[in-house]
Structure 1
Amino acid sequence: MASKNKWLMALAGMTLQLSIGSIYAYSVWIKPIELLNGWDAHQLKFAFSLAICFLGLTAAFMGKFVHSVGPKKAGLLGALFFGIGLAGAGFANSIGSLPVFYLFYGVVSGIGLGFGYITPVSVVVQWFPDKPGFASGLVIMSFAAGSILASQIISPLTGALGVSNTFYTLALAYSILMVLASLYLAVPSVPTGVVDYHSGGAHISASELLKDVRFYGLWFMLFFNTTCGIALIAVAAPMAKDVIHITEAASIIFVGIIGLFNGLGRLIWSSISDKIGRWSTFMCFYIIGTICFITLTQTTNPLLFQVAVFIVISCYGGAFATIPAFIKDIYGSEKLGSVLGYVLIAWSAAAFVGPWLITLSSDYTSIFWLFSGILAITAVMAFFLKSKMVNTENATTIVK
Structure 2
Amino acid sequence: MTSKNKWLMALAGMTLQLSIGSIYAYSVWIKPIELLNGWDAHQLKFAFSLAICFLGLTAAFMGKFVHRVGPKKAGLLGALFFGIGLAGAGLANSIGSLPMFYLFYGVISGIGLGFGYITPVSVVVQWFPDKPGFASGLVIMSFAAGSILASQIISPITASLGVPGTFYALAATYALLMALASLYLAVPAVSTGYVDDHAGGADVSVSELLKDVRFYGLWLMLFFNTTCGIALIAVAAPMAKQVIHISEAGAIVFVGIIGLFNGLGRLIWSSVSDKIGRWSTFMCFYIIGTICFLLLTQTTNAFMFQAAVFIIISCYGGAFATIPAFIKDIYGADKMGSVLGYVLIAWSAAAFTGPWLITLSDNYSMIFYLFAGILAFTAIMAFSLKGRLAKGH
Fold shared, TM-score > 0.5 on shorter chain: yes
66-75 or 248-257: which moved more?
A: 248-257
Partner of 1:276: 276
Matches within 5 A, 1:198-213: 201=201, 203-213=203-213
Q: Are positions 1:86 and 2:86 aligned together? A: yes
- Over 3 Å counting, the alpha-carbon distance change for 1:15 and 1:232 in structure 2 is same
Partner of 2:375: 375
Partner of 2:265: 265
Partner of 2:61: 61
333-342 or 353-362: which moved more?
A: 333-342
Aligned length: 391
Q: Are positions 1:118 and 2:118 aligned together? A: yes
How many angstroms apart in 1 are the aligned matches of 2:126 and 2:211? 27
Q: Structure 1: which 5+ residue stretches go unaligned?
A: 394-400
SS of equivalent to 1:192 = coil
Matches within 5 A, 1:320-335: 320-330=320-330
How many angstroms apart in 2 are the aligned matches of 1:68 and 1:338? 15
SS of equivalent to 1:173 = helix
How many angstroms apart in 2 are the aligned matches of 1:15 and 1:98? 30
Q: Are positions 1:165 and 2:165 aligned together? A: yes
317-326 or 111-120: which moved more?
A: 317-326
How many angstroms apart in 1 are the aligned matches of 2:70 and 2:342? 18
Partner of 1:175: 175
Q: Are positions 1:27 and 2:39 aligned together? A: no
CA contact (8 A) 1:262 1:317 kept: yes
1:33: Cα distance to partner?
Answer: 3.0
Partner of 2:231: 231
RMSD, aligned CA: 3.2
Partner of 2:43: 43
299-308 or 113-122: which moved more?
A: 299-308
**Deviations, residues 205-243 of structure 1 (Å, cap 9, x unaligned):** 544443444433332221111111122223334444454
SS of equivalent to 1:391 = coil
CA contact (8 A) 1:136 1:270 kept: no
1:128: Cα distance to partner?
Answer: 5.5
Q: Are positions 1:294 and 2:289 aligned together? A: no
How many angstroms apart in 2 are the aligned matches of 1:357 and 1:200? 33
Aligned residue type for 1:230: I
352-361 or 186-195: which moved more?
A: 186-195
CA contact (8 A) 1:60 1:339 kept: no
SS of equivalent to 2:221 = helix
SS of equivalent to 1:162 = helix
Partner of 1:71: 71
Partner of 2:384: 384
How many angstroms apart in 2 are the aligned matches of 1:129 and 1:330? 24
171-180 or 264-273: which moved more?
A: 264-273
SS of equivalent to 2:19 = helix
CA contact (8 A) 2:148 2:255 kept: no
Matches within 5 A, 1:130-141: 135-141=135-141
**Deviations, residues 65-112 of structure 1 (Å, cap 9, x unaligned):** 222222222222111111111122223233333322222112111111
**Deviations, residues 128-153 of structure 1 (Å, cap 9, x unaligned):** 66766655444333223212111222
SS of equivalent to 2:288 = helix
Partner of 2:156: 156
1:2: Cα distance to partner?
Answer: 0.9
Partner of 2:256: 256
CA contact (8 A) 1:86 1:168 kept: yes
CA contact (8 A) 2:48 2:234 kept: no
Partner of 1:316: 316
1:348: Cα distance to partner?
Answer: 1.6
SS of equivalent to 1:143 = helix
Partner of 1:144: 144
How many angstroms apart in 2 are the aligned matches of 1:351 and 1:59? 14
Aligned residue type for 1:149: L
How many angstroms apart in 2 are the aligned matches of 1:302 and 1:164? 33
**Deviations, residues 292-338 of structure 1 (Å, cap 9, x unaligned):** 22333344443333322221111112222333343455556676555
Q: Percent identity?
A: 85
How many angstroms apart in 1 are the aligned matches of 2:43 and 2:267? 34
CA contact (8 A) 2:265 2:317 kept: yes
CA contact (8 A) 1:12 1:182 kept: yes
CA contact (8 A) 2:21 2:143 kept: yes
- Over 3 Å counting, the alpha-carbon distance change for 1:26 and 1:209 in structure 2 is same
CA contact (8 A) 2:80 2:175 kept: yes
SS of equivalent to 2:360 = coil
State the TM-score, normalized to the length of structure 2.
0.86
Partner of 1:96: 96
How many angstroms apart in 1 are the aligned matches of 2:33 and 2:93? 8
Aligned residue type for 2:295: T
Matches within 5 A, 1:211-226: 211-226=211-226
How many angstroms apart in 1 are the aligned matches of 2:334 and 2:174? 29
Partner of 1:184: 184
**Deviations, residues 154-187 of structure 1 (Å, cap 9, x unaligned):** 2222222333332222222111221222233344
- Over 3 Å counting, the alpha-carbon distance change for 1:103 and 1:294 in structure 2 is closer
